[in-house]
Structure 1
Amino acid sequence: MPVSFDLFGTLVTAAMPADPAAAVAAELRDRDVAVPDDWSTAYRTPHLDVPDGAELPLPAHVAATLRSRDVEASDSTVRRAVIAAFDPEVRRREGVAAALDAARKRGPVGLCSNCSVPELVPRTLVRADLRGAFDAVVTSAACGFRKPHPRPFETLAADLGCDASALVHVGDDPDADGGIEALDGRFVDVAETPLSELRPTLGGES
């Protein structure tokens, strides 16, 4: 039985910026980028057309926002600013070790995370001492679509060598993580089944 986990809100808590637009603006200014006066409004305005359910990497959105105000900045500068703006303190949630142990006893283990910020998922895994804990890792930025779109689940299933219908996906968001059910997989909500109680839910020994 392959098991996959969501990351943020499921395995870890992460203190993200209360005002992402302001956080990105500060990092851009630190890199000598002229941030427009109406940045907050511009940041919250879509500037690129993307398909329904698609993930737009945040650096691409920020670069498009700057261009919409005739501000030039290199892609590398924008990328570094975005990465620096989202550099949270990370804490593992209670029961993570027990949940991962229970999942490993049932089969391959994957991670499927909605995240538009480059490097945030691998950096979070390192800080939470979860690097190397998964047989496959899929992020929305990498695969191009966000949960509940089928693509992230299908990509992860392929990486784990199984069909998406065989996946048990553990997460905290019924709308996003529950998307596995459209593929005939199974969703386990950590609000109803804490990580420490996952073993019996997966059919392992309690």
Structure 2
Amino acid sequence: MPTTFDLFGTLVAAERPERPASAVADALAARDVPVPDDWADAYREPHESVPEGAELPLPVHVAAALESRGVDADPGVVREATLAAFDRPVSVRPGARDALSAAREYGRVAVLSNCSVPELVGRALDRADLNVETVVTSVGCGWRKPDPRAFEAAADALDATPESLVHVGDDRDADGGIEAVGGRAVLLDETPLESVPSELEAIACP
């Protein structure tokens, strides 16, 4: 029984910048990238056409926002600044380690996370000292939950079929999308994280 876990809000709690645009602006300025006077507006505006369900990497959006105001910045610097703006402390949520251990008893385990910042999920897992062998992110596979292609990407990474997946998450709209591809959702508003091991046992051994 392959199991996937959402990351932020499920396995870990993470600090987020109160004003993302300002956090990105500060990180850009620290790297000598000129920040437009109307940066907040530029950051909010759409600059790229994105198919429904697809993930646009945030550094691409930031670079496009800068370009829309006549600022040509090095892509590597923009990527570094974007990661720095969101790379904040994380803490392991109570029950997370036990839930992961329980899932490993029944099959392979992966993290499936909606995250538009490259490398952020890996940083969070390292900081939390959560050893998860397989990690699929929306920025990596190109699709955000609940799009079926996100769950299909996770299933491929686990050498499994989407309908065989059990997905644990805290967002009914996003994580509940596993049911559209025939998989099983374990949602934290119904099953607290501390109860996930017994829920997985009930699913695996009905």
Separation in structure 2 between the aligned mates of residue 183 and residue 70 of structure 1, nearest angstrom:
44
Q: Which runs of 5+ in 2 are unaligned?
A: none
Could you tell me which amino acid in structure 2 is paired with residue 152 of structure 1?
A
Separation in structure 1 between the aligned mates of residue 76 and residue 110 of structure 2, nearest angstrom:
30
Q: Helix, strand or coil: the match of 1:138? A: strand
Q: 1:109-148 alignment to 2 at 5 Å? A: 109-131=109-131, 133-134=132-133, 136-148=134-146
Partner of 2:147: 149
Could you tell me which amino acid in structure 1 is paired with residue 39 of structure 2?
W
1:200 Cα deviation (Å)? 2.0
Could you tell me which amino acid in structure 2 is paired with residue 199 of structure 1?
P
Separation in structure 2 between the aligned mates of residue 185 and residue 178 of structure 1, nearest angstrom:
9
Could you tell me which amino acid in structure 2 is paired with residue 176 of structure 1?
A
Question: % of aligned pairs identical?
Answer: 59
Partner of 1:29: 29
Q: Helix, strand or coil: the match of 2:76? A: helix
Q: Helix, strand or coil: the match of 1:34? A: coil
Could you tell me which amino acid in structure 1 is paired with residue 90 of structure 2?
V
Could you tell me which amino acid in structure 2 is paired with residue 185 of structure 1?
G
Q: Within the alignment, does 1:169 sit opposite 2:155 as a pair?
A: no
Partner of 2:58: 58
Which region of structure 1 is more displaced relative to structure 2, 54-63 or 192-201?
192-201
Separation in structure 2 between the aligned mates of residue 97 and residue 86 of structure 1, nearest angstrom:
24
Q: Is the 8 A contact 2:97 2:130 kept in 1?
A: no
Deviation above 6 Å: which 4+ runs of structure 1? none
Separation in structure 2 between the aligned mates of residue 200 and residue 80 of structure 1, nearest angstrom:
41
1:203 Cα deviation (Å)? 2.4
Deviations for 1:105-161, whole angstroms, at most 9, x for unmatched residues? 111111100001111000100011113x23x21000000010001111101111111
Could you tell me which amino acid in structure 2 is paired with residue 7 of structure 1?
L
Q: Which runs of 5+ in 1 are unaligned?
A: none
Partner of 2:77: 77
Q: Helix, strand or coil: the match of 1:78? A: helix
1:39 Cα deviation (Å)? 0.5
TM-score, normalising length: structure 1 = 0.96
Could you tell me which amino acid in structure 2 is paired with residue 26 of structure 1?
D
Question: RMSD over aligned Cα, in angstroms?
Answer: 1.1
Aligned residues: 203
Partner of 1:88: 88
1:33 Cα deviation (Å)? 1.3
Could you tell me which amino acid in structure 2 is paired with residue 170 of structure 1?
V
Q: Helix, strand or coil: the match of 2:185? A: strand
TM-score, normalising length: structure 2 = 0.96
